[in-house]
């Protein structure tokens, strides 16, 4: 038996609402991560420089450029996600940045470096860092990557400024046929 038109409409609306709520939570959560991380790094540029240098992956001029640019990029992504502007592109940029950060932490782990990742400030040499520390940091960042992935697929949520980031009225109109309430007899 085929579901009634009303049942299909209700399922469509509930599905849209559920997706919008998850997208809103993902957007605000990822924005909070970037704002906290970027603010911590921007507040202490000397420590950020030590944190980037501790990975031993880049030549010194690139270390300085990353230490200056990374906090600005994180803050920009945080603001864009917070206000819901260019959400899909911000999510894609977040996913790329997170993949790079995960690779950096994994590289430090594989090479036996004992460093604090500097993800939320701090960073540099850390004698207490071990396999568990790196594993937790990578799993945390994979969780953030999942949020970015969700937003890349479902960028629309309430309280967004961007036209492509907020729910369109047409989506709800497509779910409800225009002639549903007209009598046909």
Q: pLDDT class for 86, splitting at 50, 70, 90?
A: very high
Q: What is the pLDDT of residue 102?
A: 97
**27 part of a folded domain:** yes
SS3 125: strand
Q: Does a structural domain hold residue 93?
A: yes
Q: What value does the mean pLDDT take over residues 84-96?
A: 96
Is residue 185 in a domain?
Answer: no
pLDDT exceeds cutoff 90 at 25: yes
Structural domains in the chain (count): 1
Its pTM stands at 0.81
pLDDT range class, residue 8, cuts 50, 70, 90: low
Two structure tokens written together for 99: 């993949």
**Is 181 a member of any domain?**
no
Query: What's the domain range around 9?
Result: 5-175
For 124-175, give the DSSP string.
Answer: EE-TT--HHHHHHHHHHHHHHHHHHHHHHH----SS--STTTS--HHHHHHH
Does the residue 42 lie in any domain?
A: yes
Predicted confidence (pLDDT) at residue 122 exceeds the cutoff of 90: no
Across the chain, mean pLDDT equals 86
Q: Would you state the pLDDT for residue 99?
A: 98
Give residue 13's pLDDT band: very low, low, confident or very high (50, 70, 90).
low
> What's the length of the chain?
185
Pairing between β-strand 115-116 and β-strand 124-125 as defined by DSSP bridges:
antiparallel
The closest alpha carbon to 153, from 34, 19, 35, belongs to 19
Average pLDDT over residues 92-105: 97
Residue 106 covered by a domain: yes
Distances (CA, A) of 85 to 11, 16, 27, 150, 164: 28, 20, 11, 16, 8
Give the pLDDT of residue 50.
Answer: 94
Identify which of 84, 68, 69 has the alpha carbon closest to the alpha carbon of residue 30: 84
- Give domain status of residue 52, yes or no: yes
Whether residue 6 has pLDDT greater than 80: no
Confidence of residue 123 (pLDDT cuts 50, 70, 90): confident
172 touches 16 (CB < 8 A): yes
Distance CA 17, CA 172 (A): 10
In a domain, 45, yes or no: yes
């Amino acid at each position: 038996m085929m579901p009634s038109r009303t049942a299909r409409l209700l399922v469509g609306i509930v599905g849209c609402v559920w997706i919008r709520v998850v997208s809103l939570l993902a957007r605000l959560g990822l924005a909070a991560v970037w704002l906290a991380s970027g603010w911590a790094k921007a507040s202490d540029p000397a420590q950020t420089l030590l944190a980037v240098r501790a990975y031993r992956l880049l030549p010194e001029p690139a270390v300085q450029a990353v230490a200056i640019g990374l906090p600005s990029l994180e803050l920009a992504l945080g603001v864009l996600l917070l206000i819901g502007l260019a959400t899909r592109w911000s999510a894609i940029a977040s996913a790329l940045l997170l993949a790079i950060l995960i690779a950096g932490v994994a590289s430090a782990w594989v090479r036996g470096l004992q460093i604090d990742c500097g993800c939320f400030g701090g960073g540099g040499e850390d004698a207490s860092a071990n396999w568990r520390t790196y594993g937790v940091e990578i799993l945390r960042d994979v969780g953030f990557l999942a949020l970015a992935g969700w937003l890349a697929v479902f960028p629309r949520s309430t309280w967004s400024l961007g036209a492509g980031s907020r729910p369109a009225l047409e989506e709800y109109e497509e779910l409800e046929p225009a002639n549903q309430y007209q009598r046909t007899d």
